[in-house]
Amino acid sequence: MLIYIARRAAFAVFLVFAVSSAALVLARLAPGDYVTTSLGIDARRETIEQARARYGLNRSIGEQYRDWVIRAARLDFGQSLIYDRPVADLIPERAANTAVLALTALLAATLVGLPLGVITGSRPGGVVPLAIRATSLILLSMPPLLTSLFLVFVAARTGWLPVGGMSAAGSAGGASLDLLRHLVVPAAALAMPLAAMFERLQAQAMSDVVGQPYVLATLARGVPRSRVVWRDALKAALRPVAALYGLVVGTLLSGSFAVEVITAWPGLGRLMLDALLARDVYLVAGCAAAGSLFLAAGTLMSDAALALVDPSTSE
Amino acid sequence: MTRVLGSTLLIVAILGAAGAPVLAPHAIGDQFRGLLNAAPTTPHVVDDSGHWHRPFIYPWTLVSQLEQRYEQDRSTRVPLVWFARGRLVGSADDSRAPLMLLGGDSYGRDVFSRLLFGARISLALSIAAALGSMLMGGLIGGVAGYVGGGIDDLLMRASDFVIVLPAMYVALALRSVLPLVLEPGTVFVLLAAIFAVVGAPFISRGVRAIVRGEKRLDYAVAAASLGAGHTRLLAHHLLPAARSFIVVEITMLVPAFIVAEATLSYVGLGFPDPVASWGTMLRDASNVRTFADFPWLLSPAAAMFLVVLGLNLLMQQTGVVPVMGAPPADARRVSRPALQSK
């Protein structure tokens, strides 16, 4: 068990290192650099050379990469070229915003999706399970890109909720309430397809378990149906869903990109996009490092959870 | 029921895409400068005085330039003409009252026509990318499962690594490090290649599990002992066993790719402007104020939803939950229901 966790932790470290290195090298290999994109095509050759020297872009990729790795080990991730601020100052705030959005969505989706999945999985017939199934199928067909467009549209038409950003201008008092109001649309947009996915998976796992002889035997002994479903069957049916939580982190980050862009939520997604387009190499690498850190933490936690639920995975 | 509904949605989408040059009343670039963001022109058959006519539309007259508000000119009827100029239907007076079934976009182009032409690019791109994923994933998975050992370990570690990454960011990073302004044809090929790479590991993992399992079965051993070479054994006997798994996986990849194209185009990394794809059309709706007032700009989103829904309805048949990267245990269940019951 401990060895398994240690092996997964080593993978997590490798993930963060590989992803941020790849991002730096890719951004550096891309045609054009920050200087050519920011100065435009009319700039004189000497101006360009001077600017390149100032930003350290005139060095070879290998040299630049080695330098970055050495400094990153001391938690110095270089200077952002667009913002002219240290990357280490820029990232935490944006990363926290993405984390708030993703965790709220994950929590909401789990709280809604899993119980509904238990209901539909344990009772195949009836109006309520059918309605839940139909809703899930519709939401599964609406990835975050579409749900966020739809919710922003509804919010804009009705005026019930703010349509974008993270806080209203000049709202000092009641800041947390204001944040909550701004969080509703993006979090719901991200949570809706995820809840549907959890519901379907949980329902499938549940219906597999409910058909097992031991469940029938427990029922035959006179144990109330609700107790069998929610206590005995649920325990076994959680395993396949727990196995997917590791993959969900990637799905969440992918989805939050579309949501952040559409609802103007100031998270990592927008920052990464701007950095990529401006060829801001250090900021790209920093964003990739932060994102992969989320990813590593998420997969590590789900691995540990899975090893607890299902000991056979850690063999 | 679900199957009929699902296939109907898909057939409509494919027919719409294939028949775009005939079905669309306008070309993708046709601009009506007096009708920026104009509302849909609904065909009527009864006029205000209650008389019946052949289908006709009322022309729009501009009421407010600033708010882009239009009012119907109820006094004139513009009849629809059928099978004229190689198009199924159009307005009799295109310059004054063009037929815009889903309104106009911010350049005054017909959204309905662009939706049909956009379906061609969006669907073709995602299908091409899914086929690319199939080839790459099938090859990687087949080799890994057949050869085993160190190569298997290496290929599967690499696949697992790509699966863990958020696919959208991988596609975004790969796309944005390429030159930003490119020819539409180049964009098509590049996006298809990027999506194929991102999608391939999902297929290779399942294929590898199936090939590994099949290799030990009697028929494969028999074929090998009768002198079938490695290539023949893999291509003729083992990979066909993964067929139904691959079909299922492709029906999951296609919607993912449609949405990925839309996301990239939405942020400006997709096709250049005059080209219509569902993503580039959505870009027109990137301003909240605009699409709150002109909801028809969201019709590509609705089209995407219906196509994805159609594919998901068909997936209901297989009993597989449409979740990308579900563990290969599910893959085996799809391919060999008989083995499962033993």
User: Residue B139's pLDDT is what?
Assistant: 92
The whole-number pLDDT of residue A315 equals 55
User: Average pLDDT over chain B, rounded to whole?
Assistant: 84
For A297, name the nearest residue in chain B, comparing CA atoms only: B164
Cβ of B298 within 8 Å of Cβ of A197? The answer is no
Classify residue A71: in a domain, yes or no. no
Is A299 in Cβ contact with B282 (below 8 Å)? no
Mean pLDDT of A94-119: 91
In this complex, the residue of B166, B176, B327 whose CB is nearest that of residue A254 is B166
Distance CA B239, CA B154 (A): 20
For the residues A209-215, what does the mean pLDDT come to? 84
Which of B168, B180, B288 lies nearest to residue A152, judging by beta carbons? Answer: B288
Q: Is A283 a domain residue?
A: yes
Q: How close A138 gets to chain B, by Cα (Å)? A: 7
Residue B340 to chain A, least CA–CA distance (Å): 13
Query: With contact defined as beta carbons under 8 Å apart, do A194 and A201 qualify?
Result: no
CA–CA dist B339, B211 (Å, integer) = 14
Which tens digits make up the pLDDT trace of B287-304?
Answer: 777 777 888 888 999 999
Cβ–Cβ below 8 Å for B165 and A19: yes
Taking CA atoms, what residue in A is nearest to B265?
A258
B319 interaction partners in chain A (CB closer than 8 Å): 204
Residues of chain A neighbouring B316 (CB-CB closer than 8 A): 137
Question: pTM higher than 0.90 for the full model?
Answer: no
| Pairwise CA distance, residues B252 & B254, whole Å | 6
The full set of domain ranges for chain B reads 41-99, 112-341
Report the gap between the CA of B263 and the closest CA in chain A (Å): 7
* pLDDT value for B332: 38
Tens of pLDDT, residues B241-269: 888 888 888 888 999 999 999 999 888 88
- Whose tokens are 């609700």? That residue is A226
Nearest CB to B263: which of A31, A258, A288? A258
Q: Do B324 and A29 touch (CB under 8 A)?
A: no
Indicate which of A206, A276, A284 best probes the interface with B, i.e. most B CBs within 10 Å of its own CB. A276
Its domain, for residue A162, covers 87-314
Domain-embedded: residue A137: yes
Q: Which residue has the tokens 């990469």?
A: A65
Mutate to test the interface with A, among B177, B299, B330 (most CBs of A within 10 A): B177
CB contact under 8 A, A141 and B295: no
Residues in B closer than 8 angstroms to A116, CB to CB, are: none
Asked whether the beta carbons of residue A30 and residue B259 sit closer than 8 angstroms, the reply is no
**pLDDT at residue B336 in the model:** 39
Is residue A219, in this structure, part of any structural domain at all?
A: yes
The share of chain B scoring above pLDDT 90, in percent, equals 25
For testing contact with chain B, the best of A14, A254, A272 (most B CBs within 10 A): A254
pLDDT at position A160, please? 79
Q: What is the pLDDT of residue A70?
A: 82
User: Are the Cβ atoms of A137 and B312 closer than 8 angstroms?
Assistant: yes
Q: Is A36 exposed, middle or buried (0-12, 13-18, 19+ CB in 10 A)?
A: middle
DSSP for A111-156? HHHHHHHHHHHH--SSHHHHHHHHHHHHHHTS-HHHHHHHHHHHHH
Question: What CATH number does the domain located at B112-341 have?
Answer: 1.10.3720.10
Distance CA A277, CA B214 (A): 47
Give the span between the Cα atoms of A80 and A285, in whole angstroms.
10
Interface test with B, best of A28, A29, A146 (most B CBs within 10 A): A146
User: Do residues B278 and B304 make contact, with C-beta atoms less than 8 angstroms apart?
Assistant: yes
**Strand-pair category, B60-64 with B69-72:** antiparallel
Q: How many domains does chain A have?
A: 1
Q: Give residue B133's pLDDT.
A: 94
What residues in B contact A243, CB-CB < 8 Å? 327
* Angle separating helix axes A234-263 and A175-210, nearest 10 degrees: 140
Question: What is the rounded distance in angstroms from the CA atom of residue A120 to the CA atom of residue A116?
Answer: 6
Query: Does residue A126 sit within a domain?
Result: yes
A132-191 pLDDT, tens digit each: 988 998 998 899 999 999 998 888 888 777 777 776 655 555 567 778 888 889 999 999
The two structure tokens encoding residue B91: 């307005």
Chain A to chain B, count of Cβ pairs less than 8 Å apart? 131
Partner residue facing B292 (CB), from A19, A153, A291: A153
A67 found inside a domain: no
d(CA A202, CA A242): 10
CB contact under 8 A, B168 and A29: no
CA B233 – CA B222 distance, rounded (Å): 10
The pLDDT of residue A107: 92
Record: contact A250-B323, CB cut-off 8 A = no
Predicted confidence at residue B323, as pLDDT, reads 60
Closest Cα to residue B285, out of B277, B274, B293, B276?
B293
Q: A272 and B172 in contact by Cβ < 8 A?
A: yes
HSE at residue B47, side-chain half, CA atoms within 13 A, is 15
**List of chain B residues whose C-beta atoms are within 8 Å of the C-beta of residue A19:** 165
For chain B, the three-class secondary structure string (H helix, E strand, C coil) is CHHHHHHHHHHHHHHHHHCHHHHCCCCCCCCCHHHCCCCCCCCEEECCCCCEEEEEECCEEEEECCCCEEEECCCCCEEEEEEECCEEEEECCCCCCCCCCCCECCCCCEHHHHHHHHHHHHHHHHHHHHHHHHHHHHHHHHHHHHHCHHHHHHHHHHHHHHHHCCHHHHHHHHHHCCCCCCCHHHHHHHHHHHHHHHHHHHHHHHHHHHHHHHHCCHHHHHHHHCCCCHHHHHHHHHHHHHHHHHHHHHHHHHHHHHHHHHHHHHCCCCCCCCCCCHHHHHHCCCCHHHHHHCHHHHHHHHHHHHHHHHHHHHHHHHCCCCCCCCCHHHHHHHHCHHHHHC
SS3 assignment, position B147: helix
How is residue B160 written in tokens?
């697992």
What is the least distance, in Å, from the CA of A292 to any CA of chain B? 8
**Per-position DSSP letters for A59-83, written without gaps between them:** S-HHHHHHHHHHHHHTT---B-TTT
Q: Which of A143, A163, A253 sits opposite B166 (nearest CB)?
A: A253
Q: Distance between alpha carbon B45 and the CA centroid of its chain, in Å? A: 35
pLDDT digits (tens, 9 = 90+) for B209-246: 888 888 888 888 888 888 888 888 888 888 888 888 88
CATH (domain of A117): 1.10.3720.10
Residue, of A59 and B217, whose pLDDT is higher: B217
Q: How confident is the model at residue B174 (pLDDT cuts 50, 70, 90)?
A: confident
Binned at pLDDT 50, 70 and 90, residue B136 comes out as very high
B309 to chain A: which residues are within 8 Å by CB? 137-138, 141
